[in-house]
């Protein structure tokens, strides 16, 4: 996908819709907010919405569809939830049953779509401020860990807070706190920095999700609440049916990253 | 009530619970967050929760109870939703049918309680920063107006954004924007300042709720999203049954105002 760098979110959606794009969305349509996707039956929507409200750092809601609706107008005029993500995962009772590029065939009238903020937005702000982001430098996925911090449950949704980790020098960590604190709708300020064992992370070299990255002398690990948290909560809740994006294959929205800054 | 100034939120709750306090809570337990209360049947809870998520400035959620629960532990250990507000309003199909000091007798197992932030918190911060608040100086209720701005609807809940108005000098308004912007969970920064007609407010001397206040030469009106917005949306939705606090008779929580600052 390295040769493709469309200038707008709408173009990326169109590429996904027409099957041209089936790969990850990192670095595509830079400047635009990318969203995690969670699609659930209406009868679980209240519990999940309340789970997001109770755990806003891992579950920062950008938009919620009407039941059965295939669009979320606030996120993009032409947006079609069924086709505009390059790769979907379909889950039944907490088991991954299918990966699809288009979920039109399996769409149901009772589905509610939740779009949640993702760290791509604040990483762009970090890079713009000269704070290096190691996994981007190293061309890897961000390392993620199940922490010992529990989310506040809501109905069937519960489980550990999953955190992403970015190593940096203390002075960079201070800057990163200030920068990401201005972006509460994409996870906000870190939830921890320094000793990983404080939050139940015992080995930074073996992440639970994503890839390990180099930690250089003098650097400390900085941990942010991660959008894998709600996905893991959904898997754990074992709903009869649900759809998510495949990791790294996000929904491009027309919202500008800059607009999320407070 | 002027002789009563209990030092903690818990004491105020206890006074309300035992019937000692039946009046407004302004200036009681200073430093503690006071909350608007909306109690709705479970079958409307999703629509209302989504209404709050879509309209965070007028509807800043501090906590949501489990269905039928009489407590919201995050807001206070001993808190009893049925007794701890000095005065409740009971609504049937959008009509006010009763004012009670205790709703234990009419409590139902399907009720969900929503506690929402209120402007008392940011007014305390304004006063602490030397920004005068006119209606407090004049011993009145804050003037509130139905604006021409529409909320984003959710299910049966919709209607105009209700705004509160505080007149101040431009330099004070600038300070007020900075201060209240740090308190997103109690309405946050203003939604408008200057010409009232821009937001459909035609006469500052005749508020739709509360009392008119003096506007001095050189002052401009500054408008904040107001917690009456969700109350008006509930009245408009005409649910079979709902309970709210009576205006000014708030739920005292154990959360400190300072803790809401970002």
Residues B157, B96, B147, B188, CA torsion sign? negative
Q: pLDDT for A206-246, tens place per residue?
A: 999 989 999 999 999 999 999 999 999 999 999 999 999 99
HEC string for A26-38: CCCCCCEEEEEEE
> For residue A6, is pLDDT > 70?
no
End-to-end Cα spacing for chain B = 33
Give contacts of A 200-239 with B, CB under 8 A: none
pLDDT at B7: 65
Q: pLDDT for A156-179, tens place per residue?
A: 999 999 999 999 998 999 999 999
Q: How many CB atoms are closer than 10 A to CB A194? A: 13
Query: Quick one: how far is CA A92 from the chain centroid?
Result: 21
Q: Average pLDDT in the A12-29 region?
A: 91
Q: pLDDT for B168-223, tens place per residue?
A: 998 999 999 999 998 888 888 999 998 999 999 999 999 999 899 999 999 999 99
Q: Name residue, tokens 């990791």.
A: A247
Q: Average pLDDT in the A150-154 region?
A: 96
pLDDT at A186: 86
pLDDT by residue, tens only, chain B of 262 residues: 444 444 699 999 999 999 999 988 888 888 999 999 999 999 999 999 999 999 999 999 999 999 999 999 889 989 999 999 999 999 999 999 999 999 999 999 999 999 999 988 889 899 999 999 999 999 888 999 999 999 999 999 999 999 999 999 989 999 999 999 988 888 889 999 989 999 999 999 999 998 999 999 999 999 999 999 999 999 999 999 999 999 889 999 999 988 888 7
**Does residue A182 belong to the interface with chain B, where contact is any CB pair within 8 Å?**
no
Q: Do A184 and B181 touch (CB under 8 A)?
A: no
* CA–CA min distance B126, chain A (Å): 19
Give contacts of B 42-81 with A, CB under 8 A: 45-46, 49-50, 52-54, 61, 64
- Give CA–CA dist B226/B55, Å, rounded: 11
Q: Residues near A178 by Cβ (< 8 Å), separated by ≥ 6? A: none
pLDDT at B186: 85
Domain ranges of chain A: 9-118+238-257, 120-230
Could you give the 3-state DSSP secondary structure of residue A219? coil
In this prediction, residue A27 has a pLDDT band, given cuts at 50, 70 and 90, of: confident
Which runs of E-coded beta strand occur in chain A?
Answer: 32-41, 61-64, 88-92, 95-100, 111-117, 144-150, 160-168, 192-193, 220-225, 242-245, 251-256
* Rg over CA atoms, chain B: 17
Q: Do A45 and B45 touch (CB under 8 A)?
A: no
CATH class of B9-118+239-260: alpha beta
Nearest to A64 among B53, B184, B262 (CB): B53
The three-point CA angle B126-B128-B134 to 5° equals 45
Q: For residue A136, what are the CA distances in angstroms to A118, A123, A127, A211, B106?
A: 15, 9, 10, 11, 58
Domain topology for A9-118+238-257: PSTPO5379-like (3.40.1640)
pLDDT at A197: 95
Q: What percent of chain B has pLDDT over 70?
A: 97
Burial class (CB in 10 A: 0-12, 13-18, 19+), A172: buried
* CA–CA min distance B176, chain A (Å): 15
Q: Residues near A246 by Cβ (< 8 Å), separated by ≥ 6? A: A85, A86, A87, A88, A89, A99
pLDDT at A7: 65
Domain topology for A120-230: PSTPO5379-like fold (3.30.2040)
Chain A residues closer than 8 Å to B262 by CB: 181, 184, 262
Q: pLDDT for A190-211, tens place per residue?
A: 999 989 999 999 999 999 998 9
């Amino acid at each position: 996908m390295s040769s493709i760098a469309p200038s707008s979110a709408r173009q990326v959606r169109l590429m996904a819709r027409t099957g041209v794009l089936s790969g990850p969305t990192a670095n595509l349509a830079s400047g635009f907010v990318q969203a995690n996707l969670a699609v659930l039956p209406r009868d679980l929507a209240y519990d999940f919405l309340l789970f997001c409200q109770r755990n806003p750092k891992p579950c920062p809601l950008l938009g919620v569809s009407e039941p059965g609706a295939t669009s979320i107008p606030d996120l993009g005029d032409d947006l079609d939830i069924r086709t505009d993500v390059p790769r979907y995962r379909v889950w039944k009772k907490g088991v991954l049953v299918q990966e699809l590029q288009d979920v039109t065939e399996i769409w149901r009238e009772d589905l509610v779509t939740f779009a949640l903020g993702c760290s791509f937005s604040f990483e762009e702000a970090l890079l713009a401020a000269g704070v290096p982001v190691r996994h981007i430098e190293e061309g890897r996925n961000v390392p993620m860990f199940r922490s010992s911090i529990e989310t506040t449950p809501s109905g069937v949704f519960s489980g550990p807070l999953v955190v992403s980790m970015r190593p940096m020098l203390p002075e960079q960590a201070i800057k990163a706190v200030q920068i990401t604190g201005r972006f509460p709708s994409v996870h906000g300020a870190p939830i921890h920095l320094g000793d990983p064992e404080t939050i139940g992370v015992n080995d930074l070299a073996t992440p639970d999700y994503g890839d390990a990255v180099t930690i250089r002398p003098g650097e400390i690990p900085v941990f942010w609440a991660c959008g894998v948290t709600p996905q893991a909560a959904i898997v754990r809740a074992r709903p009869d049916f649900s759809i998510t994006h495949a990791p790294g294959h996000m929904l491009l929205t027309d919202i500008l990253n800059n607009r999320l800054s407070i």
